[in-house]
């Protein structure tokens, strides 16, 4: 009798899991469709027959990770925003479909599976379209977009003999390191200059 009860409970749990996945997939599809309607040239999925160029970008966004485990995840679609307004549109679309899984990817260096990758959800990839940096030579302030890797930033700053407190490896992305606390091998050199 116990075995029978466990089987029924397992089937019910499995059925609920399927319904949850179905709602999640439908929510992700709705967000992907909203993004495609607004930005048709900046959204892709893994169907090369629809757009070979964007499908190449999908493959690049999906596979360019430091951790192979993140490359194994397959997003429903990938959105390549070029400015903050487009990111805001994606966030609003995701807010209307809260069950959709999503992730934001800078350079893809985070080793934690699912932090910068998603399986069946919406991936917002900042690397293609938001990867520029520039130095304002009047103020000597660096303006860095979130798709940059630290090597992109250093290429801009090096001719001016400037540097930033950044990741030790140039392939590390600006957003991940910054959101992760911004710890750097140069941090201890500048602790005394921080306001108390």
* Residue at 3 is within a domain: no
Weakly modelled stretches of the chain, pLDDT under 50: 1-3, 5-6, 8-18, 48-49, 194
C-alpha distance from residue 103 to each of 29, 65, 74, 131 (Å): 15, 13, 12, 18
Domain hosting 33: range is 21-125
* Residue 71 shares a structural domain with residue 114: yes
* Residue 155 shares a structural domain with residue 65: no
Label residue 89 exposed, middle or buried (CB < 10 Å: 0-12, 13-18, 19+): middle
Of 125, 155, 181, the position where a domain reaches its end is 125
pLDDT of residue 183: 66
What is the value of pTM for the model shown? 0.76
Label residue 48 exposed, middle or buried (CB < 10 Å: 0-12, 13-18, 19+): middle
User: Which residues partner with 102 through β-bridges?
Assistant: 122
* Residue 82 shares a structural domain with residue 160: no
* Residue at 13 is within a domain: no
* Residue 26 shares a structural domain with residue 121: yes
* Residue 119 shares a structural domain with residue 176: no
Of 125, 150, 177, the position where a domain reaches its end is 125
* Residue at 183 is within a domain: yes
* Residue 158 shares a structural domain with residue 104: no
* Residue 121 shares a structural domain with residue 138: no
**Residue 68 belongs to a domain with what CATH number?**
3.30.43.10
* Residue at 148 is within a domain: yes
* Residue 116 shares a structural domain with residue 144: no
* Residue 52 shares a structural domain with residue 105: yes
Alpha-carbon span 194 to 127, nearest angstrom: 31
How many distinct structural domains can be found in the chain?
2
* Residue at 88 is within a domain: yes
pLDDT of residue 191: 55
Of 70, 100, 125, the position where a domain reaches its end is 125
């Amino acid at each position: 009798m116990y075995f029978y009860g466990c089987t029924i409970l397992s089937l019910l749990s499995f059925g609920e899991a399927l319904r949850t996945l179905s709602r999640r997939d439908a929510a992700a599809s709705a967000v992907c469709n909203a993004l495609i309607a607004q930005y048709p040239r900046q959204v892709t999925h893994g169907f090369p027959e629809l757009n070979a160029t964007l499908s190449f970008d999908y493959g690049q966004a999906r596979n360019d990770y430091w951790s192979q485990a993140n490359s194994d995840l397959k997003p429903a679609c990938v959105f390549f925003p070029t400015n903050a307004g487009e990111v805001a549109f994606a966030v609003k679309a995701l807010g209307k479909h809260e069950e959709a899984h999503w992730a934001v990817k800078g350079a893809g260096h985070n080793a934690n599976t699912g932090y910068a990758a998603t399986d069946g959800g919406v991936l917002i990839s900042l690397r293609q379209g938001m990867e520029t940096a520039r130095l304002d030579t009047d103020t000597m302030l660096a303006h860095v977009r979130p798709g940059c890797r630290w090597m992109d930033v250093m290429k801009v700053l090096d001719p001016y003999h400037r540097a930033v407190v950044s990741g030790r490896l140039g392939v590390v992305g600006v957003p991940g390191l910054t959101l992760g606390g911004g710890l750097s091998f140069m941090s201890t050199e500048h602790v005394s200059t921080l306001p108390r």
